[in-house]
Amino acid sequence: MTNADLEKMVETSDEWITARTGIKERRIAPDGLAASDYAHEASLKAMEMAGISADDLDLIILGTVTPDAPLPSTACILQDKLKAKNAAVVDIVAACSGFIYGLEYAKAIIQNGQKEKALVIGVETLSKIVNWKDRNTCVLFGDGAGAAVLAPSDTPGGILATYTKADGSLARLLQVPAGGGRLPLNTDNIGNGDRFIQMQGPEVFKSAVRAMEEAAVSILKQSGTKSGDIDLMIPHQANIRIIEATAKRIKLPMDRVFVNIHKYGNTSAASVPIALDEAVRSNRIRPGDKIMMVSFGAGFTWGSVLVEW
Ligand code: UT7
């Protein structure tokens, strides 16, 4: 869906969307396709790249805020599609930080020897919970999925450090109020927009820049790495201005920052793994490179992962 398509739906313009967000187009899931369908495709590609089969997996962690259904977890539905019968599976709800949280947990579980091969996925079909009459939000979001396989290795490098944080006191700034136990869906809130994403954009923007900087600075400090040592930062793709402000604050030139927001918009938990995949497949990432992934999202949640590729 292009900005021109959106111009026909709400009072907006390609000029406004491009200047304020950097987004030119986004992918929209058609009716009948849900998160597990996209997670399935991404998982098959990740397993192919890693050279493993579904039988090898003993852990699947799936980050999403747009599950196929409230019950069971989308990870269970995916496990069945993959026939990954040896895997323990779980969804995590950390919004845009879902993939980063998933990497931290998978790494810890592998490191303590409980599991060997983990599949970590970030997937969203945000188009299903976007209010297509609200120009403040509908121009921002898109659908997609990305996945990575984690396994123990004797080779030096790999995941060098992880960092995750949250602040639930700011939850109201970015939320879907209805559809849970507090405000079950009923005829009133189905009509009033409470089942869709609601966001106080400017407040979220300020928190995002602060938190992304904190996540980057903290992981650099924790791992004894300088920002000049980072070959590529893969930030959550929410707004090009947030990405640029974060890079500026940590003194990282934009040619060391991966950006694909113009093609996909904000895909929440899927944004970092989609960007990671594109960076790998386009040879922007080479063996030995230091990669810093950084995210911020609803909750609020934020975090970072430092990898030596
Ligand atoms: O995934 C992690 C969480 N999400 C984020 O990190 C998103 C954070 N927030 C943002 O990226 C930005 O705040 C937005 C892109 C959402 C909005 O940009 P902004 O520069 O903060 O704009 P604003 O909300 O302050 O609105 C400025 C003006 C307003 O008009 P007035 O009051 O100045 O007349 C809005 O009504 O722009 C108007 N506006 C629009 N105009 C055309 C808001 N949305 C649109 C639109 N098209 N789609």
Q: Spell out the domains of the chain, with CATH numbers in brackets.
A: 3-154 (3.40.47.10), 159-308 (3.40.47.10)
Closest residue CA from atom 39 of ligand 1: 136
Alpha carbon of 82 to ligand 1 centroid (Å): 40
Residue with the smallest CA separation from ligand 1 atom 22 is: 202
> Does any ligand 1 atom lie closer than 6 A to the CB of residue 242?
yes
Tell me if 20 CB under 6 Å of ligand 1.
yes
- For 223, other C-beta atoms within 10 Å of its C-beta total 17
pLDDT given at position 183: 95
Asked whether 164 lines ligand 1 (CB < 6 A), one says no
Residues identified as active-site: 96, 236, 266
Locate the ligand 1 atom nearest the alpha carbon of residue 268 and give its number.
1
Task: Give the pLDDT of residue 203.
Answer: 97
Span from the CA of 184 to the centroid of ligand 1 (angstroms):
29
Could you give the C-alpha distances from 45 to 6, 34, 97, 147, 195, in angstroms and in order?
31, 18, 22, 8, 33
- One-letter amino acid at 232 equals L
Please give the pLDDT value at position 189. 85
> Is the CB of 205 inside a 6 Å radius of any atom of ligand 1?
yes
Give the residue whose CA is nearest to atom 4 of ligand 1: 238
DSSP 257: B
Residue 212, ligand 1, Cβ within 6 A: no
Report the relative pairing of strands 198-199 and 174-175 from DSSP bridges: antiparallel
Q: Please report, in tens digits, the pLDDT of each residue of the chain (309 residues total).
A: 999 999 999 999 999 999 999 999 999 999 999 999 999 999 999 999 999 999 999 999 999 999 999 999 999 999 999 999 999 999 999 999 999 999 999 999 999 999 999 999 999 999 999 999 999 999 999 999 999 999 999 888 999 999 999 999 999 999 999 999 999 999 888 888 999 999 999 999 999 999 999 999 999 999 999 999 999 999 999 999 999 999 999 999 999 999 999 999 999 999 999 999 999 999 999 999 999 999 999 999 999 999 999
Atom of ligand 1 nearest to the CA of 138: 48
Q: 202 alpha carbon to ligand 1 midpoint, in Å?
A: 7
Does the beta carbon of 200 lie inside 6 Å of ligand 1? no
Testing ligand 1's pocket by substitution, the residue of 136, 170, 296 carrying the most ligand atoms inside 8 A of its CB is 136
State pTM to two decimals.
0.97
Q: What is the pLDDT of residue 191?
A: 84
Q: Which atom of ligand 1 is nearest to the CA of 21?
A: 15
Between CA 145 and CA 119 the distance in angstroms is 13
C-alpha to C-alpha distance for 309 and 291, rounded to whole angstroms: 7
Q: Is the CB of 21 under 6 A from ligand 1?
A: yes
Residue 166 contacts residue 301 (beta carbons within 8 Å): yes
pLDDT computed for residue 169 by the predictor? 97
Q: Residue 296's Cα: distance from chain center in Å?
A: 9
8-state DSSP, 246 = H
Ligand 1 contact, 211 CB (< 6 A) = no
